[in-house]
Structure 1
């Protein structure tokens, strides 16, 4: 018998399948990363269509079958992702891409879910503090007493430690050079664990040069 589930989820990505269905990659608070199909979500008048879009935080109703999940209902959460400006959109895109590259399916990570929600709602243009926090929660970020941070001063290490603990809205105390060094470290960690580089930072750099 299929099992009915209800969960708080962030839509990481969607893909159109068939004539009117939508295949969704979700990061849920209760079940971690899952893939689910929404039948007829792209038909005119479908209540699922407007809710099941990337960056949205939704409450989803699921039916779990032997061959996967089917979405039977979805409504947008009151606290939706802030992507009103281009910098916000690009920062959110980096966070989403990071999750798609690193998350394993079916592993509940409630602390990470809360951190991601905070990151996606942030009004700052840099996703770096949240990237540091996410990598830490996934067990990939080295501690600041490791050789990776030998060129960082005490204040800079303190700032990074605040980010690791979850205070990602703390005003950065990093010089432009140190921020570039930290960004390169995060990119290297991501590449080592995912086997490829993020695309969004390069796109963001090209867009900023064109503006």
Structure 2
């Protein structure tokens, strides 16, 4: 598995979701029960920050340190969509420029390919969360989900349930890989429902 390519495809999918966020929508509910859309976009920035830390040889802390160039860090706060786009490009640039084989997460070493694959899962699934919050049916591409599902199954343990992820949702074994990926990570793999109003609004 080429984890750099996997990350690039996940970022491209998530960028398509983030780019469709309408103005004035940051308080919308999301599939992540504790976060509104603004908080979810902030979490995505934190994820990009952690990937950038690791790929540029810095230890990955438990809390983001703002290791992006200052302009990108400030831009993300003032314009979440443009900030995400430029920070995603910075992460891919760090991968392409060469990176350490091992990264440090907290005080533990981790294979950089594992970190990158896990980052790809998180970014793609949260990209789906963003599209749901905006009331848009934008499924994760099937080929991408096929590669992300075994990664998720390897890295999400029982102790993560109720902390980092919800309990898995029952879904048919014959369901498409993207539905099985979402269900495994505690999401209902169904199209959003809409309310009337200025722009699509998703019901929780």
- TM-score scaled to structure 1, two decimals? 0.28
Structure with the largest fraction of helix: 2
- Bigger Rg, structure 1 or 2: 1
- Greater RCO (Cα-Cα under 8 Å, separation 6 or more): 2
Structure with the largest fraction of strand: 1
- TM-score scaled to structure 2, two decimals? 0.29
